[in-house]
Structure 1
Amino acid sequence: MIFIFITIALFLTLWWYLARSLNHWTRMGIKQTRPWIIFGNSFPTVFQRTSIPQFIQSIYNLYPYERYVGFYNFQSPVLMFRDPELIKEIAIRDFDHFTDRAAFVDPEADPLWSKNLLALKGERWKEIRNIVTPVFTSSKIKLIFDLIKENSEDLINYFQENNEEIVELDMNDVVKRFANDVIASATFGLKVNSLRERENKFYLMGKKITSFRGILTGIKFVLLQIYPKLLKLLGIKFLHKEAGKFFSDIIGDTIKMREEKNIVRPDVIHILMEAQKKRMQDSTEKSNISNLDIASQCLIFFFAGFETISTTLCFGMHELATNPDVQNKLREEILKTIKSGPLTYDTLLQMRYLDMVVSEILRKWPQFPFLDRVCTRPYVVDEKIQIKLDTEVWIPVYALHRDPQYFRDPDKFNPERFDPKKNTITPYTYLPFGLGPRSCIGNRFAIMEMKCFLFHLLSKYEIVPTEKTSIPMVLSKNIQLDSENGFWMGLKRI
């Protein structure tokens, strides 16, 4: 009897403690959600009851007149900033209070992931960013433009061999293969044609390492949040183990071959190898760059180039298929540009309507639905709310992009809202590549790749809906922003 009493008392004490921690924001006078014990507000996304963008928008819309709202990532309090001026302050003006991103993987458990720019913290992040940034300057992007153009032309030539008037296919598979070949060339220095060599290992391993779909993935994310040390003890990694080893081996072999044969390419590996050599020769440098550091940076660029760009392009093609007026206007600009001569990097940048279309795709379907930051120095909001060390804050990119206060009729695909002559975008409400020092350094590369792909595709084909096209779009409930029913559409010869 005493044992039962003690058990009940311990259970109630634990319950009280857990419940009290989920009133953190209420005790501070901040409006918050209604969280669940242990899971906080994360249950619907982890167990795929709702998509990440819809989850973010639901919290954002709870209190439309508040500048911020509190919620809980499992038991941890998170503050979502809704006000553009506050977003500017934490991301730019007071960045030194929010220099890091949240860590959801023990660095020792999966070093291949934890050493990339997205995961690094503090001084090491600054150090690596300064080294990698030169890869993505305009001059460097211009040098690799021909590689992307060549892959775009290979894609069109492949389709041109098919004599059917309309080819129906899931563009998700097509664009991932295109993006795979681009990143293989621009980052790894490899020539791959995944449309013709459909089972090539580079593509298959890329699919494995960038996929976070399925309920088992959701469970792994729960364990990463609640029991990170347990996963470390069990040897469970965030990244697919076989695929991670495959890419590490490729990079190691590439580095060895380039050193032995003195091969120079204007890509990520070369820039990092040069930084590695400099640090080994300079005794004043405090830290070196290992081959693992190089592999980790290349891997995060693969993530961005393979999954992020390809999914954004798929959403974009869906919009063009269901908005033929926009597609026709864009094609007119493309055909006019073709008449003026061969496509170059400079002429691509000068295409105003193409730029407007890509901007609208990124507004409606941002591949980073939110930005996260961690408080690294105590911070006071509105002269009364103190954010403690290690508290996580979110910037709700997807919700800002869908807020009618900032974007009129936000569900409508309307490139005209980005007409530079109108300039009606409220600052700090359009954030497809983030904001401040931790914004995406590969944004020029991503935009150029998207533009080059659309330019070549629309010059030869009209994108049309088919019976399998999901209208309206239904979002997947996976961790990644995706379509529930794939991206089926038709390519019609023009």
Structure 2
Amino acid sequence: MWWIVIAVAALAVGYWLLIRPHRYWLEKGVKQGTPAFILGDNWGTVLRKQSLAEMVMMVYNACPNTRYSGFYQFLLPTLLLKDPELIKQITVKDFDHFLDHRSIIPENSDPLWGNNLFSLTGKKWREMRTTLSPAFTSSKMKYMFTLISQSGEQFVKYFLKQDQDLITVEMKDTFTRFTNDVIANTAFGVECDSLGDRTNEFYMMGKEATNFNGFWKNFKFFGYIFVPKLFKFLKVSLFSRQVGEFFRNVVKSNIRSREKHGFVRPDMIHLLLEARKNGLKHEETEPLQDTGFATVAESEVNKNPKNTKVEITDEVITSQALIFFFAGFDAVSALMCFMSHELAVNPDVQTRLIQEVDDTLEACEGKLTYEALLGMKYLDMVVSESLRKWPNAVGVDRVCTKPYTIEPKYPDERPIHLEKDDVVWVPIFGIHRDPQHYPEPERFDPERFNDKNKGNINPYTYLPFGSGPRNCIGSRFALLETKALFFYILSHFEFVPVEKTQIPLVLSRKSINLVAEKGFWLGLKRRSRI
């Protein structure tokens, strides 16, 4: 008799914990797909049957002709936002209800991760964003342009020295070495040459910090998802002690050296030290020159310094520098990989871009300037289309921080009451590949962003750097270093397919990031000069 009671109780508990969560959106009157037991809509990525981008497309297309739909990250109910006006409403107009990202690693478990701008929540995030945003204006990018340009010239010289007509290169490895050097130079005040010195300590530590393919890194992530309280209690950190101490020591020794010798260099550490001493202020007027179609404007919410009381310690500087290292090392290098691939397989686009490079170089009398680079319209069109087809993030989340209701707009809708801690998601990859927004979305077509057409693009259907006050603070930086590097490369080389080039490109199902299944193999073909 007792075993029957126990069995029934176990079934009831199992249903409540493992099955009922997947009915969350149905009970609220929201359409959803067919989530798998425990794994939810992540089943394909967990079993390596889908890339993360394919999973996004699956949930995006699961419920056609809807403004929103439900899906499940394992057992976590998540509301997928598909309607541009609804995305604007939630990420901009009603931002106060959706202030935070979903936090996976608790602040006190790993301060280096928990204190960075991406991970901070609530009042702490507001204060840090307001403090940091003046460091990423157009004038500050011009300030750092010299360092970025130096890294671009160093990159090209490495390949010119090889004195070969065609050099076969795996672009992911190559571009991460460049982005490593740029971030080391502009964020940490350290000069590197990761192409020439392939095992330099900064690059090796950066590679270790951004590697999430190992067993223990995956174990930590799944642990925080399934047993967060236990991992929080044990204070399981994301970074190894060796990695954490290395970056702390780099920043601290750099700061002490500057304070002792009084030297100044145009990098992020200098800007953060200035903010620590005197605070930074937004320029009353930004330069008139356009910094690129993909650039996201800083919200007025983030420009108000009132009641900002952030103590910028060495640890805070290290934490912010490290998150920009993350973004630069992987996300920006991924953009460069996809852009180089598209140029190689679309030679007509590359030919036109090379002509613009040559014209600009002649106008600059052989020395690239910040203003000339930003004036390259076709280069901006190519970068914009690369980010459209291959966005840095396949999606971004927001956490409901206070109760909110999505009012019905159509007869088949009813009010959707979101509770505190409910998660909403903007499926960037799906929106960018929606033929309603971009006809023939698989085709690489920079003309979508020419002067005539770009005015017709709804800004909430183009979201490579997110939307609203919590958009990516580093969009100008990412665009600037990408444009600078491609200018220097195309001044001397063109990208061409080689035997190892995968055409058409297929995304890997073994990585949570957007990477090619067989690598980004291309040839750098030396240009002939007449």
TM interval, shorter chain, is: over 0.9
Q: 1:445 to 1:285 in 2, by over 3 A?
A: closer
Q: Give the equivalent residue in structure 2 for 1:309.
A: 332
Q: Give the equivalent residue in structure 2 for 1:275.
A: 275
> Is 1:249 aligned to 2:249, yes or no?
yes
RMSD of Structure 2 on Structure 1 (CA): 1.7
Q: Among 415, 418, 422, which residue is 2:453 paired with?
A: 422
Tell me if the contact between 1:212 and 1:480 (Cα under 8 Å) persists in the aligned partners: no
Q: Give the equivalent residue in structure 2 for 1:291.
A: 314
- Provide, for residues 124-163 of structure 1, a one-character-per-residue CA deviation record: whole Å limited to 9, x for no partner: 1111111111111111111111111111111111111112
Q: Give the equivalent residue in structure 1 for 2:420.
A: 389
Q: Give the equivalent residue in structure 1 for 2:323.
A: 300
- Provide, for residues 163-196 of structure 1, a one-character-per-residue CA deviation record: whole Å limited to 9, x for no partner: 2211111011111111111111111111111111
In 1, the alpha carbon distance for the partners of 2:239 and 2:389 equals 29
**SS where residue 22 of structure 1 aligns?**
helix
Tell me if the contact between 1:462 and 1:492 (Cα under 8 Å) persists in the aligned partners: yes
- Provide, for residues 187-232 of structure 1, a one-character-per-residue CA deviation record: whole Å limited to 9, x for no partner: 1111111111111000011111112225654443221111123224
Shift of 1:288: 2.3
In 1, the alpha carbon distance for the partners of 2:42 and 2:342 equals 30
How do 1:91-490 residues align onto structure 2 when only pairs under 5 Å count? 91-214=91-214, 217-278=217-278, 286=309, 288-341=311-364, 342-383=367-408, 384-423=415-454, 424-477=456-509, 478-490=511-523
Segment drifting more, 398-407 vs 103-112: 103-112
Unpaired segments ≥5 residues, structure 2:
280-306, 409-414
In 1, the alpha carbon distance for the partners of 2:7 and 2:36 equals 20
Report how many aligned residue pairs link the two structures.
489
In 1, the alpha carbon distance for the partners of 2:110 and 2:475 equals 26
In 1, the alpha carbon distance for the partners of 2:47 and 2:513 equals 13
Shift of 1:257: 2.0
In 2, the alpha carbon distance for the partners of 1:331 and 1:79 equals 44
Segment drifting more, 395-404 vs 253-262: 253-262
Tell me if the contact between 1:142 and 1:345 (Cα under 8 Å) persists in the aligned partners: yes
Q: Give the equivalent residue in structure 1 for 2:85.
A: 85
Unpaired segments ≥5 residues, structure 1:
none
- Provide, for residues 292-330 of structure 1, a one-character-per-residue CA deviation record: whole Å limited to 9, x for no partner: 211110001111111111111011101111111101110
Shift of 1:33: 2.2
Segment drifting more, 115-124 vs 253-262: 253-262
Paired amino acid for 2:398 = R
- Provide, for residues 82-129 of structure 1, a one-character-per-residue CA deviation record: whole Å limited to 9, x for no partner: 000000000111111101110011221111101111010111111111
Tell me if the contact between 1:152 and 1:453 (Cα under 8 Å) persists in the aligned partners: yes
In 2, the alpha carbon distance for the partners of 1:57 and 1:238 equals 29
Q: 1:47 to 1:296 in 2, by over 3 A?
A: farther
In 2, the alpha carbon distance for the partners of 1:171 and 1:367 equals 16
In 1, the alpha carbon distance for the partners of 2:99 and 2:46 equals 26
Paired amino acid for 2:4 = F
Tell me if the contact between 1:46 and 1:218 (Cα under 8 Å) persists in the aligned partners: no
Segment drifting more, 30-39 vs 175-184: 30-39
In 1, the alpha carbon distance for the partners of 2:217 and 2:309 equals 38
In 2, the alpha carbon distance for the partners of 1:323 and 1:215 equals 38
**SS where residue 203 of structure 2 aligns?**
helix
**SS where residue 488 of structure 2 aligns?**
helix
**SS where residue 461 of structure 2 aligns?**
coil
TM-score by length of 2: 0.89
Q: 1:217 to 1:287 in 2, by over 3 A?
A: closer
In 2, the alpha carbon distance for the partners of 1:57 and 1:417 equals 22
In 2, the alpha carbon distance for the partners of 1:492 and 1:228 equals 51
Q: 1:143 to 1:296 in 2, by over 3 A?
A: same
Give the share of equivalent positions with the same residue, in percent. Answer: 46
Tell me if the contact between 2:399 and 2:421 (Cα under 8 Å) persists in the aligned partners: yes
Shift of 1:286: 5.0
Tell me if the contact between 2:39 and 2:73 (Cα under 8 Å) persists in the aligned partners: yes
Segment drifting more, 231-240 vs 62-71: 231-240
In 1, the alpha carbon distance for the partners of 2:215 and 2:68 equals 31
In 2, the alpha carbon distance for the partners of 1:46 and 1:263 equals 50
- Provide, for residues 420-459 of structure 1, a one-character-per-residue CA deviation record: whole Å limited to 9, x for no partner: 2223312300001111101111111110111111111111
In 1, the alpha carbon distance for the partners of 2:310 and 2:444 equals 48
Q: 1:140 to 1:170 in 2, by over 3 A?
A: same
In 2, the alpha carbon distance for the partners of 1:167 and 1:86 equals 48
In 1, the alpha carbon distance for the partners of 2:151 and 2:66 equals 47
**SS where residue 476 of structure 2 aligns?**
helix
Shift of 1:493: 0.8
Paired amino acid for 1:359 = S
**SS where residue 190 of structure 1 aligns?**
coil
Shift of 1:21: 2.0
Paired amino acid for 1:92 = V
Shift of 1:390: 0.6
Segment drifting more, 288-297 vs 149-158: 288-297
In 2, the alpha carbon distance for the partners of 1:148 and 1:8 equals 65
**SS where residue 469 of structure 2 aligns?**
helix
In 2, the alpha carbon distance for the partners of 1:46 and 1:126 equals 34
In 2, the alpha carbon distance for the partners of 1:479 and 1:146 equals 34
Paired amino acid for 1:211 = N
Q: Give the equivalent residue in structure 2 for 1:51.
A: 51
Q: 1:194 to 1:67 in 2, by over 3 A?
A: same
In 2, the alpha carbon distance for the partners of 1:375 and 1:233 equals 25
Tell me if the contact between 1:179 and 1:306 (Cα under 8 Å) persists in the aligned partners: yes
In 2, the alpha carbon distance for the partners of 1:286 and 1:304 equals 26
Paired amino acid for 1:15 = G
**SS where residue 469 of structure 1 aligns?**
coil
Paired amino acid for 2:503 = I
TM-score by length of 1: 0.95
Q: 1:437 to 1:34 in 2, by over 3 A?
A: same
In 2, the alpha carbon distance for the partners of 1:217 and 1:246 equals 19
